[in-house]
Amino acid sequence: MGEPVPLDAPPPEEPAAAHAGGAATTRAQESDAALARRAQLLATEHWGLLAARSTAQNEVLARITIFLTLVSAGLVTIGLLGQASGFHGWFGGASVAILAFLALIGFMTQVRVMNVSEEDMMYVVAMNRIRGAYADLDPQVEDIFLASVYDDLPGMKRTYSFLRPRGLSIFLGSSVMLLIVVNACVVGLLAGASVLSAGGAFSWATGAGIVAGVLFSAGFVIFGGVGFRWAWAHYVPRRATPPPRPPSRH
């Protein structure tokens, strides 16, 4: 016969069960800690994107203000020079020089505004992706977000406009369009002043100004559209917006 088993000895399977329960508890604790750490990292990145977006917007608004101030001062200066010179002699060369300076500053400002518009789109897409990660951590919060949790083109449009689709009014009222119109006028004035300074007729100067302004506007609109399409053609979203559900027959 085998050795007697003490009465106070635990059953053979009890230590294994206790060990398994402890391992499950440890895995649950590690999972909660990992989720909390992940949420903290996502929130930190989210706030960093918000700060960068705000800084870029403030910087470009300051650039626009400086440019519009220069345009106003330049036009006033041209008017004063015209009164001092009787709009003859050296007035033509001076006005062309001032308008060329304004056109150069306007071109640089226009490029910066369009770059910031692209950066803003980039920040929105990045925050959509982080919002999607929040929904992965806690699926119940997805119904609370008005902004999209999908980092594709429809998701970006949803975040920019919660309540209705974005229309033409968004483009017409944008800072990009404002700068295009102002710069087109400055470039048109520069072209017309150059023709007049070269001895051309007023009708030719007017035509040259209109053509130059239209070409400038069309060039930047095409440039922005090409960059927008290129960006989305080369970007792979993490979460794509699901297709709309077909209407019910009942």
Residue 14 confidence (pLDDT): 45
Residue 21's pLDDT is: 46
pLDDT of amino acid 226 = 93
Report whether pLDDT(73) > 90.
Answer: yes
The residue written with tokens 């440890």 in the block is 26
Give residue 89's Cα distance to chain centre: 48
HSE, CB side, 13 Å, CA atoms: give it for residue 161: 11
pLDDT value of position 184: 96
Note whether 151 and 237 are within 8 A (CB): yes
Q: How far apart are CA 207 and CA 209, in angstroms?
A: 5
Digit-coded pLDDT (tens) for 11-51: 444 444 444 444 444 444 557 788 888 889 999 999 999 99
Question: Residue 200's pLDDT is what?
Answer: 87
Confidence band (pLDDT; 50, 70, 90) for 173? confident
Residue 20: per-residue pLDDT: 43
Return the CA Rg of the chain: 32
130 pLDDT more than 70: yes
User: Which region, left, alpha or beta, applies to residue 201 given φ > 0 means left and ψ of -120 to 50 means alpha?
Assistant: beta
Beta carbons of 179 and 170 less than 8 angstroms apart: no
Task: Give the pLDDT of residue 48.
Answer: 95
Work out the number of other CB atoms within 10 angstroms of the CB of residue 229.
Answer: 10
Least confident of 48-52, 211-215, 238-242: 238-242
How much of the chain, in percent, has pLDDT values that exceed 90? Answer: 64
Answer yes or no: are the C-beta atoms of 130 and 46 closer than 8 Å.
yes
Report CA torsion sign: 16, 19, 21, 23. negative
- Burial environment of residue 191 by CB neighbours within 10 A (0 to 12, 13 to 18, 19 or more): buried
| Selected residue with higher pLDDT from 167 and 129 | 129
Q: What is the pLDDT of residue 250?
A: 53
Q: pLDDT by residue (tens digit) across 95-110? A: 999 999 999 999 999 9
pLDDT of residue 25: 46
Q: On the CB side of 74, how many CA atoms lie within 13 Å of its CA?
A: 22
| pLDDT tier for residue 215 given thresholds of 50, 70 and 90 | very high
Q: Pull the structure tokens for residue 98.
A: 């001032």
What's the whole-number mean pLDDT along residues 115-119? 93
* Cβ atoms of residues 137 and 38 within 8 Å: yes
